[in-house]
Amino acid sequence: MNAPAADNPVFGSIPPVIALRNLTRTYQMGDAEVRALGGVSLVIERGEFVAIMGASGSGKSTMMNIIGCLDVPSSGRYWLDGVDVRGLDETRLARVRNRKIGFVFQSFNLIPRTTALANVELPMLYAGVGSKERRARAVAALDMVGLSERSGHFPNEMSGGQQQRVAVARALVTNPALILADEPTGNLDTRSSEEVMNIFEALNRAGRTVVLITHEPDIAARTKRTVRLRDGLIIADEPTSDTRHPADAGAIR
Amino acid sequence: MTVVLDLTTAIRGLAANKLRSSLTVLGILIGVGAVIILVAVGNGSSLAVQNRIKALGTNTITIANRGRFGRGPATSGTQTQAATITAADIATMSDPNQAPDILSVSPVLGASVTASYQSASSTVSVTATSPTYLPAEDYTVEAGRSLNSADISNSAQVALIGQTVLTNLYPAGANPIGTEIYMTEGKNEAQFQVIGVLASKGSATGTTDPNNIAIIPYTTAEGLLTGYTNDFQRIIVEAKSAGTVNAAEQEASDILASANQTTVANLPFFVLNEQSLLSTSASTTSTFTVLLGAVAAISLLVGGIGIMNIMLVTVTERTREIGIRKAIGAPRRAILGQFLTEAVLLSLFGGLAGVAVGLIGSRFKIVGVKPVATPTSVVEAFVVAVAVGIFFGFYPANRAASLRPVDALRYE
Ligand SMILES: Nc1ncnc2c1ncn2[C@@H]1O[C@H](COP(=O)(O)OP(=O)(O)OP(=O)(O)O)[C@@H](O)[C@H]1O
Ligand SMILES: [Mg+2]
C-alpha cells in the first residue's frame, strides 16, 4: 500500500505522520458548489503538537475529518504515515482509524447508555484485544485522565469535562501515533479545558503527535505550532509564539 | 468474542426502547403463533376426517348393486339382464386361488326394523351378514360372542346388538346376553336371542349412529326382511392388507363381471373403495391446512415488515452512534453484525414466544376441532421467523454499515 517512492513527497527514511498535497474538498449543495478546502498542502512530523485555527467555516473540521479518515478529499493526496489513504479500502480505513488515530470531538461523542469503562474498551474490542487486557488497559487509560473512580458511570451521569476526559481516554487507549481533536475544549469551562490540555501536553511529551482545532488563543498558545486557515486555504503556518497573530482577529470576531 | 460483543450491544440497544421492541416482538409472536395454531387446526380436522373414515374399516371395499335402486340394468350388446351378486359369486371370491388378495366377503342386507324387549322398543338398523362382516367393518364384540359359521348354516335366530340398542331397550346395568328381543318389519316379526354386545364405534359420516345396530346371520333374514332373495344388494369385500385393497377390488370386479357375462365397466355396481375415499379426503384437508398456513404466513410476513420498520427507525435514531463507532474503528461487519443481531434477537424472542403461545393455544378446541400441532410446523414457523428477522433486518443493518463516518457523525 506504500506509495511509490517517486510519488512520495517526503524526504528521509521516516515518513511524516501527515502529508497533505493540494487537498480540496467541495460540497454539492443543490446547484451550488461549496468549496470547503481549496488546495491545502501540509506536513506534520512525528511528535508535533499543532493547533489549527481559523474563522468559523474556514474549513478546519473539513480538513481534520479528512486527516482522521472520516471523510475523503475531492482531489489531492493524503499520506498517513507514508501510506496513501486513497489506496485503502473500507476495511483498511476502519483499521487505520482504529489503530493509528485517536479522535476527540467537541461534543464528546460517547456511546450513550454505556459506562465510561465500556466506552474506553470499545476501540480495543474492534481491534480484537482480549477481554482481560482490554479491561486492564481501559482502567489504566481512565486512571491517566483522572477518572478511575468514574469508570462505572454512564455518560449522562458525568459532567462535560468528565465526559471529554473519558473521550480522551478512549482516543489514547489504543496507543495511536496520532491524536486528533476538533475543538476538544469548545464545550468546556476553563478548569476542565485546563485538565484536558494537561493530558494532551502529557501525551505529546510522551511522543504522540497531537493536532487540535481551537478558537481560543490560550489553548493554541500551549501547542508548538499553529496553522491558520481562511476560506479553505492555509494562510499561516508557524511555530506558536506568545504574541497574538493579527489573523486571530478573524477567528475571534 | 465478536459474537458476545454483538449480543450485549444488541440487547442493550433493544432494552433502550422496551415498548417498541416488545411491540415488534408481538408482531412476530402473533405470526408464529398463528402459523402453529392454524396449521394445528388444519391437521386436527384432517385427522378427525381420517379417523371417521377409518371407522368404516380401512381394508374394505363395498360393492352395492345399483341396479336394484331403479337405475335399470346395464346393457352391453346382447346383455340386458340385471346383474346380480349371488352366493356362488361370494364363494368364488372367498376362494384364495381365484382371488388371492381377498380375505373375506360378507353379504350385507340392511333394513330398518322395530326392536322390542319387554315394554321398551326402538327403531334399529339391522344388518344381516356373515361373521366376517364384523372384523371387516371394525366391529368388536364387547360381551358375549360373535356370529359363527354354525349360526349361518343353521339360520340361527341370534343377534348382536350395538351400544345404542342396549341403552334404548335395557334398563341400565342389565345383562342382555341370553335375553330374547323381537324385531318387526311391516307384517314380519321374528324373535332373536341376544348373543353378544358390540363395542362402541365411531361414526363415519356423523349422521347415522353406527351403534344403533343389530347384526344377524344373513341366512336368517329370509323370514324377517322383505325382499330377501339369493341376490345380495351389498357385499363387503375385505382385502388381506391395506396395500392390496385395489388388487382385491379388481379381483372382485372381475369375478362379478364374468359371472354376469359383462365387463367391469358395464357392471351396474357401485364400488366404494374406502382407501381411495381416504386419500381424496386427505388431499382436500391438506389443501385446507395449506390455506390456513398461508393466511398465517402472511401475518408472519407482516411481522417481518414490522422488524424492518423498527430497525430502520433504530438505525436512523442511532446514526450518530454508528458514526462514533466507525470513527473509533468499527469495521463494516461489526456495525452490520450489531444491527442484524438486534433484528434477529427480535425475531428470535418473537419466535420463541410464538411457539409457546402456539403450543398452548393448540391445547384448546377451536371451532369444534381439536388442533394437533406437529413438530414440523413448530420448527418451520420458528425457523421462518428467524429467517424473516435476518431477511428484513439485513437492509436496515446494511444501510447503517454503509454510512460514511463523517455523514453519520454530522447527523442530527
Ligand atoms: N456536509 C456539508 N455540506 C455542505 N457544506 C458543508 C458541509 N460541511 C461543511 N460545509 C461547509 O464547508 C465549509 C467549512 O466547514 P467546516 O465545518 O470545515 O468549518 P470549520 O472551520 O470547522 O468551522 P467551525 O469553526 O465553525 O467549526 C463551511 O462553509 C460549511 O458550510
Ligand atoms: Mg468545525
pLDDT at A2 over 60: no
Phi-psi region of A240 (alpha: psi -120 to 50; beta: other; left: phi over 0): beta
Segment A139-162 shows an average pLDDT of: 94
pLDDT at B273 over 70: yes
Segment B335-349 shows an average pLDDT of: 91
Looking at per-residue pLDDT, the higher value among A171 and B367 belongs to A171
Segment B169-178 shows an average pLDDT of: 88
- CA A25 / ligand 1 centre spacing (Å): 10
pTM over 0.80: no
Q: What is the pLDDT of residues B109-153, one digit of tens each?
A: 878 888 888 888 889 988 888 888 888 777 889 888 998 888 888
Q: Residue B353: CB partners within 8 Å, gap ≥ 6?
A: B25, B29, B32, B33
* 3-state DSSP assignment of residue A70: coil
- State whether the beta carbon of A155 lies less than 6 angstroms from ligand 1: no
Q: What is the pLDDT of residues B211-255, one digit of tens each?
A: 889 999 888 876 666 555 567 778 888 888 777 888 888 888 888
Give the nearest partner residue to A126 out of B12, B331, B406, using CB atoms: B331
Counting ligand 1 atoms within 8 A of each CB, the residue from A40, A52, A60, A183 with the most, and so the one to mutate, is A60
A97–B5 CB contact, under 8 Å: no
pLDDT at B207 over 70: no
Counting ligand 1 atoms within 8 A of each CB, the residue from A62, A187, A233 with the most, and so the one to mutate, is A62
Cβ(A103)–Cβ(A65) under 8 Å? Answer: no
Residue nearest to atom 5 of ligand 1 (CA): A27
Looking at per-residue pLDDT, the higher value among B379 and B49 belongs to B379
Chain B environment of A94 (Cβ under 8 Å) = 326, 329-332
Q: Name the minimum distance, in Å, from the CA of B348 to any CA of chain A.
A: 24
Q: In what order do the strands lie in the sheet with A49-54?
A: A101-104, A178-182, A209-213, A49-54, A225-230, A233-239
Give the nearest ligand 1 atom to A63 CA. 18
What pLDDT shows up at residue B230?
A: 63
Q: Name the minimum distance, in Å, from the CA of A189 to any CA of chain B.
A: 24
What pLDDT shows up at residue A205?
A: 95
pLDDT at B160 over 80: yes
- DSSP calls for B253-287: HHHHHHHTTS-GGG--EEEEEHHHHHHHHHHHHHH
A125–B5 CB contact, under 8 Å: yes
Looking at per-residue pLDDT, the higher value among A119 and B54 belongs to A119
Q: Which amino acid is at B86?
A: T
What pLDDT shows up at residue B60?
A: 81
Chain A environment of B322 (Cβ under 8 Å) = none
What pLDDT shows up at residue A4?
A: 45
What span, in angstroms and rounded, lies between the C-alpha atoms of B211 and B208?
9
Pairing type for strands A233-239 and A225-230 reads antiparallel
- State whether the beta carbon of A27 lies less than 6 angstroms from ligand 1: yes
Segment A204-231 shows an average pLDDT of: 95
Joined together, the cell numbers standing for residue A200 give: 494532551
Looking at per-residue pLDDT, the higher value among A171 and B300 belongs to A171
Q: Name the minimum distance, in Å, from the CA of B328 to any CA of chain A.
A: 5
What pLDDT shows up at residue B190?
A: 84
What pLDDT shows up at residue B71?
A: 34
What pLDDT shows up at residue A251?
A: 44
ipTM value, please give it: 0.90
Cβ(A215)–Cβ(A52) under 8 Å? Answer: no
Give, in degrees to the nearest 5, the angle at Cα A121 between A120 and A124.
120
B57 falls in which pLDDT band (50, 70, 90)? low
* 3-state DSSP assignment of residue A252: helix
Residue B325, chain A, CB below 8 Å: the answer is yes
What span, in angstroms and rounded, lies between the C-alpha atoms of B323 and A109?
9
Pairing type for strands B234-239 and A32-44 reads unpaired
Segment B150-163 shows an average pLDDT of: 88
Residue B145, chain A, CB below 8 Å: the answer is no
Q: What is the DSSP letter of B64?
A: E
Main-chain dihedrals φ then ψ at residue B257, nearest 5 degrees: -65, -45
